[in-house]
Amino acid sequence: MKSIIAFCLFLWTAQAFEYDLTPVKVSEDVHCFFGAPENITQENGGNMVNTCFVQTKEGFVVIDSGPTFGYAQEAYAQMQKIKNLPVKVVINTHEHDDHWLGNSFYKSKGALLMGPRTYEQNVIPGMSTRMQRSVGEETYTGTKVVKLDKIVDTHYAFTLGDTVFELKKLVEKAHTQGDLVVYLPQKKVIFTGDLVFNDRLSSIRDGSIIGSLKALDLIDSMQAQVIVGGHGYVTDANATVSLRRYLSEMKKQILEALSNDVSIDQITKHVTMPEYKNMKLYDVLHDRNVFEAYRELEMYDEDEE
């Protein structure tokens, strides 16, 4: 009988989309949900992004709120299983919508929303989103675009419980023009947002290849023990290796092509980097990355560094 009631309750409360989120412990009191190394699809419901939560004595701090209201709701339920505590702060690493569309859920729970200036500039309440178009209305149910409570320009630190959180903008333009990292100095854990990708290719369409490489160097110089990127499963001190290798090789090949007068129309045929063909999202992102990097490197003078 009990199981029949439970089953009926399940049907009653069943969401249009089940994310089946499972928290993975990456450090003491730090857990993450790892998304698939894919593009956004109806099938994954936008669960192709990494989001994390840090437990403190006074409550949770969430880093990136995920792709939908429903996702954040499931993430919150998983947190409550670990410890019955409120979510006090949500930090958004950058303006791309797979990272913050869970904000309205946490706002409804009383959390303070923080993020970069570019969120304020580009995210407008009521606007339609790429996520909405990609996952469909059912999965998107309840999702609202909301404003931040606190904008971080270059640097901000706060303590919750006894845990120190440092938010920093490392370079002017890297993955976007407003990427924040979140560093926990006591735990030597850094959340880098999309400054770090692994297990799939990154996109540099809104950013800079030079800035991205600089950001990776700065992240490594912090000597964190745990580095959690916005996408991909590698979280040890080598998490930056894969993206650095890809971007450095691309930079080298494009600079060579430029010195041989290869035109922008021809560049994607020259810089194919076949060793990355089996990397997830190569077909979708590689040519565009080469094209964008070419436009940037055309103007680039290494001696001005």
The residue ranges of DSSP E strands in 29-173, in sequence order, are 30-33, 51-55, 60-63, 87-91, 112-116, 150-152, 155-160, 163-169
Q: How far is the CB of 103 from Zn ion (least distance, A)?
A: 15
In angstroms, the CA 182 to CA 169 distance is: 9
Residue number with CB closer to Zn ion (27 or 93): 93
The smaller minimum CB distance to Zn ion, of residues 271 and 281, is found at 281
| Location of structure tokens 């290719």 | 201
The nearest distance, CB 202 to Zn ion, in angstroms, is 9
Q: Which is nearer to Zn ion, 74 or 95 (CB)?
A: 95
Which is closer to Zn ion, CB of 37 or CB of 136?
37
Smallest separation, CB 261 to Zn ion (Å): 35
Please, what is the minimum distance in Å from the beta carbon of residue 99 to Zn ion? Answer: 6
Instruction: Using the minimum distance from each CB to Zn ion, give the nearer residue, 29 or 98.
Output: 98
Q: Which residues bind Zn ion (CB under 5 A)?
A: 96, 98, 194, 230
- CA quadruple 39, 229, 131, 134: dihedral, nearest 10: 10
Residue 53 contacts residue 62 (beta carbons within 8 Å): yes
Q: What is d(CA 305, CA 289) in angstroms, rounded to the nearest whole number?
A: 22
Closest distance between Zn ion and the C-beta of residue 62, in Å?
Answer: 16
Query: What number of other Cβ atoms are within 10 A of residue 27's Cβ?
Result: 18
State which amino acid sits at residue 21. L
